[in-house]
Amino acid sequence: MGSPDYDLDAVRRRIPLLRPLVLMNACSHAPQSEPTRAAADAYLASWDRDGMDWDLWMEEVERARSAFARLIGAEPADVAVATSVSQATASVASGLDYSGERRRVLVSGAEFPTVAHVWMAQERFGAEVTRVPVRDGVTFPEDYEAALDERTLVVSACHGYYQNGFKQDIPVIAELAHARGALLYVDAYQTLGTARFDAPASGADFVASGCLKYLMGIPGIAFVWVRPGLAERLRPALTGWFGRREPFAFDAERLDWAEGARRLDLGTPPVLEAYIARAGMEWLMDVGLEAIGAWTRTLGARLVEGGRARGLELLGTDDPDRKAPSTAFACEDGHAVEVALRERGVLASARGPAIRLAPHFYSSLEDVERALDALAEVREGGGA
Ligand SMILES: Cc1ncc(COP(=O)(O)O)c(C=O)c1O
């Protein structure tokens, strides 16, 4: 597959930063694009023109919620708006009850630290955190099976591992968790936007993501989907007025819970971010997540092959079916490599003793080759 099933040049023309740079940092931050810049301009124009237009701005937040729902094959009523994945996770975690026998939280070693931290913070409310190990950069379903028991309340398993792009098998983990009566929380920040993902069909009970990486947005907004019917079990201690049935009743005497996932909404939502988030997600959906998935798989496979051909040490799996596009290579000092690559016009992302090359739907095969050549040159140059 030498080119994607969409007009790659047309996509690339909408991202000015692709002219001077090779962008391999999608696992960390999306580039600015015409659609997202236009969305930001629309907010700034509204703010400048009207001072405030809460009706319009709240409508925009709802449109962003709906776009996220559509992206994951879900309904807007089952999506909460958050400001980060940390907050989304904390909102969900604060809504669970750790006082019974079933109080264990099984956290995969592949979680981004923030997610693990949130679960650990629930220990003061009775939660007991147990772990699933990462072995050779990947996790194994049998380790989940061995760690699960009838005391497990919730399993926290990210979809894509931020360190090396390894994709955990969510349907399999969901089946194992549910067989023991546990819930499954999935942080899909490293995969959403790179391929089609159907949250209801995945078996997960919660799916969270922010927008600043593969969803082409910026920091400050995130979403969490809650399996229909499950939200009613949650009484989030981390709450705010937008989690009420009627926020604009301004009733400080009554704590009620909005229907569905909205009870996880918190304070005044991130309006500018919602404009941008919707533009990014709608662009991805217009291009087509099926086609994007096929192309990012090709790019990921090329990184693995090309890295091998250049003698680079791959971290994590080489199985294209189990990989997000982000691909990690070993190095002594990831930060030094990141700086050296930037000097060569390649934006990559370091994580300790690893450098991640993370292409996206806008990337070409030439980008992949140029990035690998630059990395091989830096590695041969010694030091990093
Ligand atoms: C998988 C994953 N989860 C969570 C985060 C952090 O989320 P937030 O900063 O929105 O809390 C990141 C990266 O920054 C990530 O890669």
Query: What strands, in cross-sheet order, belong to the sheet with 354-357?
Result: 314-315, 327-330, 354-357, 349-350
How remote is the CA of residue 189 from the centroid of ligand 1, in Å?
6
The rounded Å distance from CA 60 to ligand 1 centre is 24
**pTM (whole model) above 0.95:** yes
Q: Tell me: the pLDDT tens digits for 31-42?
A: 999 999 999 999
Q: Would 3 be classed as within a structural domain?
A: no
Task: Check which CATH number belongs to the domain holding 232 and give it.
Answer: 3.40.640.10
Residue 101 carries which DSSP code?
Answer: S
- What tens digit of pLDDT does each residue of 171-180 get? 999 999 999 9
Name the nearest CA neighbour of 211 among 13, 53, 39, 369.
39
> Looking at 284, 313, 332, which one is the last position of a domain?
284
Q: How far is the CA of 51 from the centre of ligand 1 (A)?
A: 33
Q: State pLDDT tens for residues 217-230.
A: 999 999 999 999 99
What amino acid occupies position 246? E
Q: In Å, how far from its chain's centre is CA 333?
A: 25
- CA distance linking residue 212 with residue 192, whole number of Å: 11
In this structure, the chain runs to a length of 384
Examine residue 77 and state whether it is found in any structural domain, yes or no.
Answer: yes
Residues 269, 294, single domain; the answer is no
d(CA 22, CA 11): 15
82 neighbors 264 (Cβ within 8 angstroms):
yes
Strand partners, 268: none
Final residue in a domain of this structure, among 284, 299, 320? 284
Question: How many distinct structural domains can be found in the chain?
Answer: 2
* 81 and 14 together in one domain: no
Atom 3 in ligand 1: residue holding the nearest Cα: 112
Residues 334 and 271 in one domain: no
Quick one: pLDDT at residue 384?
59
Q: Are residues 277 and 344 in the same domain?
A: no
Query: What secondary structure does DSSP assign to 7-70, as a single string?
Result: -HHHHHHT-GGGTT-EE-BTTT-PPP-HHHHHHHHHHHHHHHHHS--HHHHHHHHHHHHHHHHH
Structural domain boundaries enclosing 312: 8-32+288-380
Same domain, 317 and 183: no
The answer to whether residues 354 and 244 belong to one domain is no
- Tell me: do 219 and 233 sit in the same domain: yes
Residue 265 tokens read as 């909404």
Domain-terminating residue out of 284, 311, 336: 284
For residues 232 and 235, give the distance between their C-alpha atoms in angstroms, rounded to a whole number: 8
pLDDT band at residue 193 under the 50/70/90 scheme: very high
| Position 382 confidence tier, pLDDT thresholds 50, 70, 90 | low
CA dist 221 to 109, 224, 270, 287, Å? 25, 11, 6, 22
Whether residue 300 is found in the same domain as residue 357: yes
pLDDT in tens, 116-126: 999 999 999 99
Give the CATH number for residue 341. Answer: 3.90.1150.10
Contact between 46 and 62 under an 8 Å Cβ cutoff? The reply is: no
Residue 1 lies in a domain: no
146-159 confidence digits (pLDDT tens): 999 999 999 999 99
Pocket probe for ligand 1: among 162, 224, 273, the residue whose CB has the most ligand atoms within 8 Å is 162
